[in-house]
Amino acid sequence: MLLLSVQDWNSAVNQLYYADFYAVLALMAKEGHKVSSHSGAKHLLNVHFTRTGRLAIEHNSTFGRLFNARQKGDYDDFEMFSESDALILLEQTPEFIREIKNLI
């Protein structure tokens, strides 16, 4: 990921979130659930997939961490992510997307 190679940790975290977010949107579209906001996507994922046992809690937590990180990075003026923050999320993102693909 180019953003990681130039050490733009905040932008990298933002893009990791969007990778997960669009995977969730695809899942919701397939299942016929209308998503009207980012928080709505998070809520629907929890209600229709985590609470029903179709998605493991750790994957829901991955999306939640990225959701919160994106909020902080985009809207908190002084939020600065570190390399380790970004790399942990980078490690979790492909696994999350793989699980969403399995559900689709």
- Dump pLDDT digits (tens) for 18-44: 999 999 999 999 999 999 999 999 999
CA pair distance 30, 81, nearest whole angstrom: 33
Amino acid, single-letter form, for residue 101: K
The torsion region of residue 76 among left (phi > 0), alpha (psi -120 to 50) and beta comes to beta
Range ranked top by mean pLDDT from 3-7, 36-40, 87-91:
36-40
pTM of the model: 0.89
Q: What is the pLDDT of residue 73?
A: 80
Q: Confirm if 49 and 55 have CB atoms less than 8 A apart.
A: yes
